[in-house]
Amino acid sequence: AVQALLPDLPGFESGGGPVIPQAVVIRGAAGSQEVLLVKRTTPRAWELPGGYLNPGEDPQEGMAREVWEETGLRVRSERLVGWYERTGFRPHRSPVYACTETGGQLRRSREAVAVGFFPAQRLPLSLFPWYREIIRDAVEGRSHTGRREQHLGLGTVVTSAAIHLGAVTGVLRP
């Protein structure tokens, strides 16, 4: 029972960490857009779909593959929102793409206990905090050149741990 409370995290990687492309899949008209989120099996929190690249894989292709594997949806990248360099705890680099769905059927996967679209103006409390700015930028049509640093310091770690524990214990819903 105690093991379910502790998130299963990947090993630490030095040198800025891996490249993990992610997608902000947007649907709906301006002012009422929804974004696709996945709730991971561990840590148990909502986040953008995406994941590790296969050797030699292009980040945009890897993002589309990961969205398909995690959610059952096919997507088309409309633009690069930006490269986000997450420093501190679990450093990694994420090119984030604004996307539209082109097909498929929304479904859960072995990596995600839940998937769904959420109103961009009412995102779930159990969304990892660093995604809020990215989603806002994507929905508002902004793109950034250069790298954008997001430092995942102690405050972020504590907030993320609280989100995970709240979701695992059922205190935070959805």
Has residue 137 got a pLDDT over 80?
yes
Tens digit of each residue's pLDDT (9 = 90 or more) over 11-55: 434 456 789 999 999 999 888 999 999 998 777 789 999 999 999
Has residue 7 got a pLDDT over 60?
no
Confidence grade of residue 120 (pLDDT, cut at 50, 70, 90):
very high
Tens digit of each residue's pLDDT (9 = 90 or more) over 88-101: 766 778 899 999 99
SS (H, E, C) the chain: CHHHHCCCCCCCCCCCCCECCEEEEEECCCCCCEEEEEEECCCCCEECCECCCCCCCCHHHHHHHHHHHHHCEEEEEEEEEEEEEEEECCCEEEEEEEEEEEEECCCCECCEEEEEEEECCCCCCCECCCHHHHHHHHHCCCCCCCEEEEEECHHHHHHHHHHHHHHHHCCCCC
Residues 146-162, mean pLDDT to the nearest whole number: 70
